[in-house]
Chain A
Amino acid sequence: MFEVKPVIWIDRDYLKCSGCRMCEIVCSLHHEGMIWPEASRIRVFMLVPGVEIPHLCTQCYDYPCVNSCPYKALSQDEETGAVKVDEEKCTACGVCINVCPGRVPHLHPDRKRIIICDLCEGEPECAKICQKAGFNALKVVTLRRGRGDTEKLVSRTPEEITKDLAVNLYGEKAEELV
């Protein structure tokens, strides 16, 4: 038997995302000290208007990105389970993007390193502002048995999520909008 300790996780309800992007604003302020949408670790995709998707790391229980990094630049934070990037070691090779089921990581706009959600040391700014605004699209939850298959499968590409959500919102019309 192995024990699984409870972990925090950012639950996401795309249907409730207003597309306000305050999550991007607070994330980039927290990590970069300025408003910098492309340097945000959470990015809201809007491939189809109305279909806004806050796209961020889901901390897969088996960490394909960490395990595939040829430079050992990625590691798992023992406290939060977040993926940490060692900026010194990262070469921006892009392997982690390709092994991520949702293609979540992306280059920092300086093009020198990858950026991935670090859960803000356990208190994610994005979820805080989303809760404060009352949109409730992002919410910190505690998973008592750790993260499972469903949490991992949440990590899908923006294209795939867009297709699903567009049907939910626009019904038969979705096909001609995506």
Chain B
Amino acid sequence: MVRGYAGRILDINLSEGSIDVLTLEESILRQYIGGRGLAAKILWDRLGSRWREIDPLGAESLLVVMAGPLTGYIPGGRICVSGKSPLCNGIIGSTVGGEFPIELKCAGFDGLVVGGRSEKPAYILITDGQAEIRNAGKIWGLDGKQTIRALNHEVREILAKAEPKYGEWKEPASLYIGPAGETLNRTAAVMQKWSHAAGYGGYGAVMGSKNLKAITAKGTGPLPEIENKEEMMSFLNQIREGAFKSQTPMIWGTANGGYPTGFKSSSEPVRNWQEEWHDEKSLSADKFAWRLWVKRYWSDYGCPTACLKIAVVKTGPLKGAITDNPDYELIAYCGTNLGIFNPEGVAYVSSIVDDLGFSGINGPNVMGFAAELCQRGILTKEDFRGIEPRWGDAEAFGKLAWLMAKREGIGDILAEGTYRAALKIGRMKGVDLLPFAVQFKGMEVGAHGIRSGLDGPFGKWPMCYACSTQPGDHTSIASTRFGGEAMSTLSDSLVYCTISYRAGPDLLYEFFKTITGWELTPDDWANNIGRRIIQIQRAALLLGGPDFVWDLLRDEDNPSRWYEPLPSGPRKGAMPNREECLRMRSEYYQLMGWDDNGIPTSEELRRLRLDDVDKALEGIRK
């Protein structure tokens, strides 16, 4: 019996309507741990030999949802959503916070794999030890807030009917998609609660392609047995102490970055990354706090940090907008990058982006790109069905988000994400639009620029997005320090929250041991377990397909905009040196056991016992 795990996952095929329960083997868990690692392993085992042919939005593709051994025990319930990404055609481990993984583990499952395609809109309901596929006809088409409302009502009724004497049933927890996922917007997220998104990767579109509106769980069991309860409690108290002392995320949330990332670091996207500096004090966290927040401390399961905050616009033309925080990334992408510099405007766009189920980074990145095309006269009001997305016009951007979600007018093309839209509109207009597309291998980038060199690891290692197996993902950056993406594969596989967890790396391994009983060392993680996950993700990214296969010399680089000098602020004129970047890239390839073309070497793959990955890469080695 493995400790810390429920030990079982659901294997569901929506075409056939079949539901199987699989037992997880201890040897696989020890090698891949959970979350991102286990998801990558399952995806590779099932699709690896035909990776390039698999359409991420076809019935053959898989949606994988996987908790980890620490989920539930470590503060802030998180779960990893994965699959073949319709943005980069590789494997992204996209994590999201909330209560769903707790309900799932209490129902007796660590995760699920969903394949096939339901004929009609469906949702999956998971209860103690079982699951069923249910009709989602009444929920399809609803926005995020209405989806949660409808699911909570329906599932509580089902539970009360089944067990009328139980007492009041608590609400279930759900992963769901909004309208953007239903219409297969490649930038759609898998959502949880309100405003909680597994954003990178585009897995909302994968759910939509399967006609799967939601996965809902309600378990009544305890969390799985663990190895050493007393030690776990003592470590948990230390972890909580670490969180209690970490006051900045608690008091301001990540909104804390809204002003200084622009003003101090010169690394916040402004008007589609044409600038990265601003001195807009109106975007400081205190402005959001005093104008909008109705709840200052909002947590996910078990979390004392409460970096979430609930923002409501109570007056004026944007009245009625409700969102979390907004989080730094959304202050940047639904704010500064659209030229919006007031809290109400940012909350308004964030609220719509959340409700429609877009990733708050990827979806609005497309809008910033579209607005620049409007600024340059490449697209006009007619293309936008009468909307004019001018910098700073929050209402217009709200309408543009709807246009994308409904795939109307130019929205139908923008729904394909920034990269694909740039190529398509470029062909239509006969212009090269890639200079305005700020993305990496089809994935829109996080809101921390590299040009100023001042934004921590992003500035220190300017190839951090380009070399990542999760291109553009600010939570999984590559760097020669910390063994590549080792810390990110760790947090995404165990699965824990890097904002709440502030107790240092050593305690983490100890905590893991008290839960699973297994020894894990930083070296083993960096060189073997974590590395194995990275190599599988790397192979999938290199194989890509079916619509795009990445050319490493061209695509494993920063977008051209990031080689333009910064036009404003104290770091005016700054830009990375491309020669230096390419040298760093080679250095990184060596560190990761990749050849000069960035392909994992046979030697490295055989060392990690990934012979099948080695075989799959044979065809692309030069």
Contact = CB atoms under 8 A, between A and B. Distances in A.
Interface in B514-548: none
A48 B149 contact: yes
A106 to B, nearest CB: 3
Interface in B66-82: 72-73, 75
B165 A169 contact: no
B168 A18 contact: no
Contacts of B194: 49-50
A45 B145 contact: no
Contacts of A135: 297, 306
A106 B168 contact: yes
Contact of A29 (B146, B193, B233, B303): B233
Contacts of B403: none
B459 interface: no
Given A107-B165, A169-B295, A20 B312 contact: no
Contacts of A50: 194, 294-295, 298, 310, 322
Contacts of B306: 18, 20, 135
A25 B300 CA distance: 13
Interface stretch (B215-223, B414-422, B479-487, B558-566): B215-223
Nearest to B103: A37
Interface string B155-189: 00000000111111011000000000000000000
A177 B171 CA distance: 14
A105 B314 CA distance: 37
Interface of B: 72-73, 75, 99, 102, 106, 145-146, 148-149, 152, 163-168, 170-171, 193-194, 219-223, 225, 229, 233, 240, 244, 294-295, 297-304, 306, 310, 312, 314, 320, 322
Nearest to A96: B167
Interface string A129-150: 0001111000000000000000
Contacts of B295: 15, 18, 50, 169
Given A25-B302, A109-B221, A43 B170 contact: yes
Contact of A169 (B219, B223, B304, B310): B310
Given A94-B165, A103-B168, A106-B167, A178 B149 contact: yes
Contacts of B219: 38
Contacts of B146: 176
Contacts of A93: 165
Tell which of B165, B302, B320 has the most Cβ of chain A within 10 Å.
B165
A158 interface: yes
Contact of B149 (A25, A157, A170, A177): A177
Interface string A49-72: 110000100000000000000000
A21 B302 contact: yes
Contact of A33 (B102, B220, B229): B229
A36 B244 contact: no
Contact of B322 (A15, A21, A104, A170): A170
Nearest to B152: A47
Nearest to A136: B297
Interface string A167-178: 001111100111
A25 B220 CA distance: 14
Contacts of A25: 302
A154 interface: no
Nearest to A159: B168
Contact of B222 (A28, A105, A170): A28
A94 B240 CA distance: 37
Given A45-B168, A46-B99, A55-B168, 15 more contacts: A18-B299, A18-B306, A19-B299, A21-B299, A22-B304, A29-B233, A36-B221, A50-B310, A94-B164, A97-B165, A106-B168, A170-B312, A173-B312, A176-B146, A178-B149
A94 B167 contact: yes
Name the 8 nearest CB pairs between A and B, nearest first: A106-B167, A20-B299, A36-B222, A94-B165, A18-B297, A109-B220, A18-B299, A38-B220
B320 A173 contact: yes
A40 B348 CA distance: 38
A173 to B, nearest CB: 5
A32 interface: yes
Nearest to A46: B171
A25 to B, nearest CB: 6
Contact of B171 (A45, A106, A169, A170): A45
26 contacts: A16-B297, A18-B306, A20-B299, A20-B300, A21-B99, A28-B222, A35-B223, A37-B106, A38-B221, A39-B222, A46-B99, A46-B171, A50-B295, A50-B322, A55-B168, A94-B167, A97-B168, A107-B165, A133-B240, A135-B297, A135-B306, A169-B294, A169-B310, A170-B322, A177-B149, A178-B149
A90 interface: no
Contacts of A176: 146
Nearest to B222: A36
A63 to B, nearest CB: 18
A47 B225 CA distance: 29
A169 B222 contact: no
A165 B163 CA distance: 28
B140 to A, nearest CB: 18
A18 B251 CA distance: 13
B171 A20 contact: no
B167 A36 contact: no
Given A36-B221, A50-B295, A169-B295, A45 B167 contact: no
A94 B155 CA distance: 21
Interface in A107-132: 107, 109, 111, 114, 132
A92 interface: yes
Contact of B166 (A34, A49, A107): A107
B496 to A, nearest CB: 15
B251 to A, nearest CB: 10
A169 B312 contact: yes
B145 A103 contact: no
A44 B299 CA distance: 12
A45 B222 contact: no
Contact of B148 (A35, A36, A39, A49): A49
A178 B149 CA distance: 7
B301 A21 contact: yes
Contacts of B225: 34
Contacts of A104: 168
Contacts of A34: 222-223, 225, 229
A45 B170 contact: yes
A132 B229 contact: no
A94 to B, nearest CB: 4
Tell which of A35, A97, A157 has the most Cβ of chain B within 10 Å.
A35
Nearest to A105: B167
Contacts of A47: 152, 171
A141 B170 CA distance: 27
Nearest to B243: A133
A41 to B, nearest CB: 12
B330 to A, nearest CB: 16
A97 B302 contact: no
A114 B165 CA distance: 10
B149 A32 contact: no
A22 B170 CA distance: 16
B77 to A, nearest CB: 9
Tell which of A19, A29, A55, A169 has the most Cβ of chain B within 10 Å.
A19
